[in-house]
Structure 1
Amino acid sequence: MSRELSARLPAAPGVYRFRDAGGRVLYIGRATSLRSRVGSYWGDLRDRRHLRRMVPQVARVEAVECDSVHEAAWLERNLLERSKPRWNRIRGGLEVPVGIQLDAAGPRVVHLHSPGAAEFGPYLGGAQARLAVSGLDRIFPVRYTGERLDGGLRDLARVRGVSVLDRPAFLTAVAAVLRRRAEQTRAVRDGLALLRDRASANLAFELAGRIQQELGALDWIVAEQKVTQLVAGADHDVYGWAGGVLVRFRMRRGRVDGWEQRDSSLASARRYLELTPAEWSAFAERGAELARRLR
């Protein structure tokens, strides 16, 4: 039955949850493609052999479609920090939460140990964030616009044709990318792709590979992600309804850390739907529609 249900899942990133016949959560996971990932449990598990004994117990599949793989990673982490099902090995996740601070020296990655440590984020994965910052610095070399550069940096600044006069424009452009402004982000991607292709044409394959990694990391940090916020607002619940199913997401301390669904008539659901902030409507409605399809 669960193999058949996987065909109803979208080929989109998200989080999935397996339940047994008694309704207990067996496992929570994330996927780049929900359809292929969930379907893989009824095939060759390969490096997930420890889950072979779990699969026959799966009676129900639930899933949430996310706007990006990054958002799916955060949602999985939040859910597992709150409660670890039996078949999950790790509470939370392996990636390190970080932010990006922007100052006169340019963008830098900071660990989120204290409030106010970062202006942008949060992001999962320090390595990814550092690669993204490296890519931004490649296009907007803020560090070469300082007023007191040593000899080496001064020579590099002269070669790149930048000076202290370029700093305000560079910082503004970097901030626009970190705010996910489409035009500026596209310009940076195009610039990095051009540098990558030029390096490859010059047989500098190691450099080309590095720039390709920076491109992937840039996509990671600018991807839509709202289930974990840098500054926690008021706690609230997000509701979606479709075909007799009411889905609820719990936002607590800036994180979506709970996800429930139950049968409900539209009349009964209306008072909950009115509580959902407008910016969450599409996410919640999509979650409810997917819950309906998986019934």
Structure 2
Amino acid sequence: MSARSSAARLPHEPGVYRFRDRRGQILYLGRATDLRSRVQSYWGDLRDRRHLTRMVARIARIEAVACDSVHEAAWLERNLLEAGLPPWNRTHGVETSIYIVVDPRPRTAGVRTSHVARFDGVVGFGPYLGGTRARQAISGLHRAFPLSYTRDRLTGAERDIAASRGIGPRSRERLAAAVIAALDGTDAGAVREELTAARDRAAAALNFELAARIQEELAAFAWVTSVQRVTVEGGGDQDVCGWADGLAVTFAIRGGRLIGWEQRECGRSAVARGSAGTPPEWAEFARRNAELAAALIRG
């Protein structure tokens, strides 16, 4: 099966893909919101990617990992490129790695970004990729649950807004808990409901600029709360293995980051130990990506 034909077997899911030449050398690694559409585009009009024309002619095999979110695909691409840059890749990635901090302390209450994972006296979440998305998500969190208006010292304008919303120091614990529940996934729906209602009110009032801004906050909040397991703060080391139709896929996780991805043809018995040692939370991920690998090679 040609590489172009195997591209049609990719799922319409987010993920990471890489191209190999006939000698098995990795030519290029990229990420996609829709794997099939993105990879098939290399055999169409390349437009601003015309410099890749010579590379496309050398593609002999496509390999791919299907991810559970675009955010997860972005992290996986970054990790793999940092581990090794293929010849046709130009950079390791441009998104900023960032954390979101929820501060419940009286003098500094609020939600903010941090570029370091130091959370003394505060609650930290992340890491996330994309400083702009993180700040938009924080804007949405503030719109839904304005924790910063419960600080001990507010400006006159802030006091007026807080009073109009019935918010004060006694609201601090409740609002901090709501923001934390939104970011840890316990109750992300509350933020989505608040922002959706605010967006619809703005649109009904013909304030389309505000409605668009809130829609961006909704998208950013979805980004930071989507499934993302390939980069975990404080994570450990482990190998994740899946097998399907005579083909094994192994992922190397070091320090909480998935940094290696290999696949090889072998019998099930050859990876029995690796499969048995795969943590339950990774088993489905490994299985479906082994099935994808087999589909791309076997046809």
| Unpaired stretches in structure 2, ≥5 consecutive residues | none
8 A contact 2:111–2:148 mirrored in 1: no
109, 116, 120: which is aligned to 2:113? 109
| Contact kept in structure 1, 2:182 and 2:190, CA below 8 Å | no
Q: For residue 223 of structure 2, what is the amino acid of its counterpart?
A: W
- Structure 1 unaligned segments of length 5 or more: list them: none
Q: 1:17 to 1:255 in 2, by over 3 A?
A: same
Query: Equivalents in 1 of 2:89, 2:119: separation in Å?
Result: 33
Distance apart, 1:115 and its partner CA: 5.0
Q: Is the 8 A contact 2:199 2:215 kept in 1?
A: yes
**Cα distance, 1:207 vs structure 2:** 0.9
What's the CA shift for 1:232? 2.9
Query: Matches of residues 254-269 of structure 1 in structure 2 within 5 Å?
Result: 254-269=256-271
Which residue of 230, 234, 237 corresponds with 2:233?
Answer: 230
Write the distance in 1 (CA, Å) between the matches of 2:153 and 2:40: 58
2:23 matched residue in structure 1:
22
CA distance in 1, matches of 2:40, 2:281: 31
* Corresponding residue of 1:240: 242
For residues 45 and 128 of structure 1, the distance between their equivalents in structure 2, rounded to whole angstroms, comes to 28
1:51 aligns with 2:30: no
Q: What secondary structure, in the 3-state scheme, does the structure 2 residue paired with 1:38 have?
A: helix
Question: 1:18 is paired with a residue of what secondary structure?
Answer: strand
1:253-292 equivalences under 5 Å are 253-292=255-294
In structure 1, C-alpha distance between the alignment counterparts of 2:244 and 2:188, rounded to whole Å: 35
Are positions 1:79 and 2:80 aligned together? Answer: yes
Query: Which aligned runs of 4 or more in structure 1 are off by greater than 6 angstroms?
Result: none
Residue equivalent to 1:94:
94
SS in 1 for 2:18: strand
Instruction: Tell me the amino acid that sits aligned with residue 167 of structure 2.
Output: V
Matched residue SS, 1:27: strand
**C-alpha separation between the residues in 2 aligned to 1:50 and 1:254?**
35
* Residues in 2 aligned to 1:116 and 1:173: alpha-carbon distance in whole angstroms: 18
Question: 1:34 matched to which residue of 2?
Answer: 35
Instruction: Report if the CA contact (8 A) 2:99-2:115 is conserved.
Output: yes
Which of 163, 167, 178 is the equivalent residue of 1:162? 167
Partner of residue 120, structure 1: 125
Query: Secondary structure in 1 aligned to 2:249?
Result: strand
57-66 or 41-50, which moves further after superposition? 41-50
Does the 8 A contact of 2:202 with 2:210 survive in 1? Answer: yes
Deviations 1:201-250 (A, max 9, x none): 112111111101100000000000010011132x1111001111111001
Instruction: Give the C-alpha shift of residue 274 in structure 1.
Output: 1.0
2:183 aligned partner: 178
Asked if 1:216 corresponds to 2:219, the answer is yes
Q: Conserved in 1, the CA contact under 8 Å of 2:101 and 2:119?
A: no
Measure how far apart 1:122 and its partner are.
0.6
Alpha-carbon RMSD: 1.2
Q: Amino acid of the residue matched to residue 34 of structure 2? A: S
The one-letter amino acid of 2:15's match is G
User: Matched residues, percent identical?
Assistant: 55
Structure 2 residue matching 1:93: 3-state secondary structure: coil
d(CA) in 1 for partners of 2:151, 2:73: 39
Find the aligned partners of 2:235 and 2:268 in 1 and give their Cα distance.
31
Pairwise CA distance, 1:75: 0.3
For 1:116 and 1:262, how far apart are their aligned partners in 2?
A: 42
Q: Distance in 1 between matches of 2:49 and 2:115?
A: 31
Cα pair 2:247 2:290 within 8 Å, conserved: yes
User: What is the aligned partner in structure 2 of residue 136 from structure 1?
Assistant: 141
- Report the Cα offset of residue 47 of structure 1: 1.4
Alignment match, 1:193 = 196
CA–CA distance in structure 2, aligned partners of residues 232 and 266 of structure 1: 28
Amino acid at match of 1:272: G
1:151 Cα deviation from its structure 2 partner: 1.7
**d(CA) in 1 for partners of 2:64 and 2:263?**
11
